[in-house]
Amino acid sequence: MGIADIADSLTRRIESVTSGVSEAFFEPVIRLGVTGLSRSGKTVFITSLVANLMDRKRMPSLRAATEGRIEGAFLQPQPDVTVPRFDYEAHLAAMTGPEPHWPDSTRAVSELRLSFRVAHGGMFGGLRGPRTVHLDIVDYPGEWLLDLALLDQSYADWASDTLARIADRTEAQEYLALAAAAEGSARLDETVAKGLAAAFADYLKAAKAAGFSDCTPGRFLLPGDLAGSPALTFAPLSAGGVTRRGSLSREMERRFEAYKARVVKPFFRDHFARIDRQVVLLDVLGAIHAGPRAVEDMRRAMAEILSAFRPGRNGWLSGILGTRRVERILFAATKADHLHHEQHTRLTAIMAAMMRDAKDRAEFSGAATAAMSVASLRATVEEMVSHNGGPLPCVRGRLMTTGKQAAFWPGDLPADPSRLLSPAKDGAAKWLDADYAVMNFAPAAITLQPGEGPPHIRLDKAAEFLIGDRL
């Protein structure tokens, strides 16, 4: 470690302590991380949450709002000038404008600060003036989440696990053929290395499109300014015994370790490790539609991600010393508006069963957890359709493909989650007794009244669990 590194480390520690003292004694800050795999709806969740916290008529379960203790909520300038601001205004305009459409997906880390002026509650609340509470929302690409599990893996372990997991996937066969032909002990040929990395990146993109979740390294999908760099020019190769320096295998290992040190660790240190409230969003319906392998893949991927969390309780000293823990975790199955409310309980149960191990570990460490089905922006209405002489509970919405209105019934989710999770764990290729369909709905045209945020399902309950105790 050089003088510059030591100075940088000391500066970070001083800044952390200074910030912690300010938060602990003056204006508390809640750092809320919004995580989830691709297509889980992170951008829509954050946009609708902020809009409904600023205009709270649709938030009956947020006690501070119903009790009238939130006197005001307003967006503050971005506190960290080195992190891009979450483009709230543009995303809200996309969702609620004259031609509503879904906003662009997350492609980089961004933050947004929402500040509340809150009156004290209780018998003597009127004797004290209002206080200010800041909510810092951290958004980052779902593709980067899985990279956190790499921190505890060596190149050999990661390569072995990856090759075993993708061995029977159609999307991986082209890459596997190239990897089998590559001689790891041979001297590094940059053309060969680039070809392997490009083929592996192509596999990851195809796997993501097919509904798989374990698409690591995440920056292969969203390279940004790292495109073409050696840090993204590696791929998993079979262990071939001892290899000399300068060989293809040794160089792949070196670049893998550089990726962890230069990409994953800074992300963990600067963003992930500072979070004290966490939302984990899951497109469970999409995984069910993709089949048992996609469900099991999602379950395993989320278990790996959550192993990077530090659950527990924070005291006033935690903020000062910079030893924050994730003290509340919400597991949320998104797109609940794609189902009639009669099936919401079943969707929640399936998602809770998938996250059972992570939930138990978090609660054992002292963190509070909750599971629920949500729709950040309600795009459908419910209706009963006559079918085979009886009523069929459907949802109606505007189709993404045609723009036409259509009623939709996705199939019956099982009351017992094990009917889905057991075949998934056993490696079944498809559901044996039922088909589960999904439909892509576009946002509905809405007219918001003064004081109203966008329509949603259970976003108020999510907010109460995540931040209600601090308001």
- At residue 123, the pLDDT reads 60
pLDDT tens digits, 250-278: 999 999 999 999 999 888 888 777 888 98
pLDDT tens digits, 360-409: 877 887 888 899 999 999 999 999 988 888 889 999 999 998 889 999 99
Tokens of 156: 């050999």
pLDDT above 70 (res 12): no
Residues 6+ apart with CB under 8 A from 335: 41, 283, 285, 286, 375
pLDDT band of residue 321 (cuts 50, 70, 90) is: very low
CA angle 40, 42, 47 (to 5 degrees): 140
The alpha helices in 404-458, defined as continuous H runs, are 418-425
Residues 12-140+271-379+446-470, CATH architecture: 3-Layer(aba) Sandwich (3.40)
In 120-213 the beta strands, taken as DSSP E runs, fall at 131-139
- At residue 373, the pLDDT reads 96
Give the best-scoring range by mean pLDDT among 32-36, 136-140, 254-258, 411-415: 254-258
pLDDT above 90 (res 146): no
Give Dmax (Cα) for the chain. 79
- In this structure, the dihedral spanned by the alpha carbons of residues 268, 269, 274 and 280, taken in order and rounded to 10 degrees, is 0
Strand partners, 457: 375
Mean pLDDT of 434-448: 88
- At residue 125, the pLDDT reads 59
- At residue 241, the pLDDT reads 61
Rounded to 5 degrees, φ, ψ at 142 are -60, -30
Please state the domain extents for the chain. 12-140+271-379+446-470, 146-267
**Which helix (H) or strand (E) covers residue 285, if one does?**
helix 284-290
Is 222 or 49 the better-scoring residue by pLDDT?
49
pLDDT band of residue 127 (cuts 50, 70, 90) is: low
**pLDDT > 70 fraction of the chain, expressed in percent and rounded:** 88
- At residue 438, the pLDDT reads 84
Q: Which amino acid is at 236?
A: P
- At residue 1, the pLDDT reads 45
Is 268 or 127 the better-scoring residue by pLDDT?
268
pLDDT band of residue 308 (cuts 50, 70, 90) is: low
pLDDT above 70 (res 3): no
- At residue 122, the pLDDT reads 64
**Do 213 and 297 touch, CB atoms closer than 8 A?**
yes
- At residue 58, the pLDDT reads 96
- At residue 80, the pLDDT reads 83
